[in-house]
Structure 1
C-alpha cells in the first residue's frame, strides 16, 4: 500500500471518529505562526467556510468570563504543561456553550516545543443537566433543613405542655372522682405518655440531621462493638445468644462514632428481640472490603422477614413485621437514615424461619 493511500485511510478514520465523538481538533504551529481547525471544530464553532484561524483570533472563541483561564492554559501548555478542563466557549456568532477541552505541547526531535495540539467536545446538555441536578439538590437540602427546624421547634414547644399534662394527671386525686371522671383522667394520662414517646422519637430523628454535620474521625469498629455488647450484656445472657465477630479485614473506618454505635445497637438488638423460639440466637458481626468499598455485616438465625410482603416497608417509620407488642418500628428507620446520612447504603437478605443478614456500606 502506498503512503498516499495509507494517509487517505488514516484521514478517513480520523474524520469518522471525530464526527462520531463530536470532538473538534485544533493546532498551533509556533514556527510557521499558523493555526488550524479540523472539519468538526469548524462545524462546532460555526465558522464561515473561508475563515482562517490565527493565534490572535483564537481567543475570541472563549466566553469572556473564562478568557483568563483559557489564556493561562494556553501559555502553560506552551511551556510544556498539558491541560484538561471544562470551560465556557463561544461560536463565531457568539453562542455560548460548555466544552471539555484538552491540549498538549508538540515537540520536535530535539524536544523543543514547536506548537500545541488539542481537542474539545461540546458538553452543553450534560452541563445543563448537572446544573439542574445541583439546583434540585440545593432545593431539597433547603426543604429538609426547614423541615428539621420545624420538627425541632415543635418538639421543643410541645415538651413543656406534655410534661404539664403528665404531671397534672399523675397528681390528680382519683379518690374524689366518679368512675367516668377516673376513666377520663386515665385517658389523659395515656395521651400524655403517648405524646411523650412520640416526642422522643421525633428528637431521635432530628438528632440524625443535627449530628450529620459532625466531622468524620477514625473509628475502631471493635471498640464500638464492645461498648454496644457491654450495654446489651443482660439481654445477650438472658437469650443465651452466641456472638461471633471478625474485624481484621476492616478494623477502622472514617465515620461518626455515634452513628456506628447506633447502627450496631439497632441491628444486634433486633437480632436478639426477634430470635427464633426453637433455637438459641447466633449473631455474626464482621467487616470486609470488596471492590474498594468497606462493609459491615450483621447476620442472625432468627425469625427472618418476609421480604416479598414487607420489603418495601422495611425501613419506613413505625412499620413492624412480627406482631411484637414492644416493637416501635423506629430502629430500622433510624439505622437507614444514619447510613444514608453517611453516604452509604444498607441492604437485607432474609428468609422466614431462617434468619436475616444486613449489609451496611460504610465507605
Structure 2
C-alpha cells in the first residue's frame, strides 16, 4: 500500500523535486506519525522531525506510554535515527499548561465536558508548532492524523478519512483555511490501520507494533477527577444529588465526578427507575438526575464556530448539514441557522441524547466526506 501521491509534481503538491521540498513532520512517537516521516524520507523529501514535550514526563500527572511523554520522545528520536533525518524536541510544557490543561480543569469545574485534544491541535500543534515549521523554512507540515486534505475549486478542503473507524475529523474541525494551506495528512486515504502497520513493518520501524494511545495524554487511566483535584485542590466540594422533580436523593463529593448522560456510579441505589445525570448546577453544587427521556434535545447552541464552507456562514439563513455532537457518534442530519459569523443554533432532525456543554459540534455535508468546520456546544438548551 502506497501513501497518497495524487498531486502535481511531487506527492505533497509542490512544483519541485522532493529533495528541494522541506517538510516538518509532527512526531508523537506513535506508529502513525513515524510512518509518515519514514515514507517521506524514503521518497527523498528533506524531512525534519519535531516532537513536543507537552508536560513533565516525570511528574505525577504523566502516564507511561501516553502521547508526548518520555517514552514517546525516545521512540520518535529512534525512528529519526533509523531513517536518517534530523529530529528536535521542543519544550512546550508552559504553553500546553496555559492553553490546554488549565482550561480543561476550569471547564470541568464549570460543569462542562471539555475535549482537550481539540484545543491542543488548535492552540499548540497547528499554531505554535506550525509557526516553528515555517521558521525552519519548511514548505509544509505533515502529521499522522487520519483525515484528508483535498483540492477543491476554491482551494484546499477538509474531508473525512477513508477509514471511518479511524477518522479524526471531530478533533480537527477548528483547522483554519490558512492552516490547511500548509498542512498535509498522508495517511487519510488508507483503507485501514492495518495498512499503516504494514508500512511500519516494511520500513523496519521499531514502533511497528506499538499500541495506540487511548486516553487523554495527561489523564492517567482516564481518571479526570483525580487530575482536576490535583490541579484545583478545592474542586471536590460536596453537594446534593437531586431528582428533576425536586426530591433530594443523596450527596456527592464533587460535581467533577459527574458528566451529562452518566448512569453508573451515581451513588443513589435503591430506586426503581434508572436515572441519568441530566444537568449540573454548578452554582448550587447540585447534580440533577432524571429519566433517560430528559436527555433528549433537538436544539443546540454553538459558538466559536470555525467555518470551512465556500460561501460565508451568514450568506444563508439556513444550511442543511449533518453534525456530530460526540466523537463516537455518527453524524445526524440537522439545520444550521447562523446568528453571527461565529455563533449559530443547530436544529437536529431527530433528537440526540446526552448533548453536553464543552463538547464539539462538527459540521459535515449530508452526502459526501467534506467537513464544513464546527463549533463548541454552549449552554442554553
Identify the TM-score tier after normalising by the shorter chain. under 0.3
Q: Which has the higher contact order (CA 8 A, sep 6+)?
A: 2
> Which protein is richer in helix relative to its size?
1
TM-score, normalised with respect to structure 2: 0.18
> Which protein is richer in strand relative to its size?
2
TM-score, normalised with respect to structure 1: 0.19
Could you say which structure has the larger radius of gyration? Answer: 1
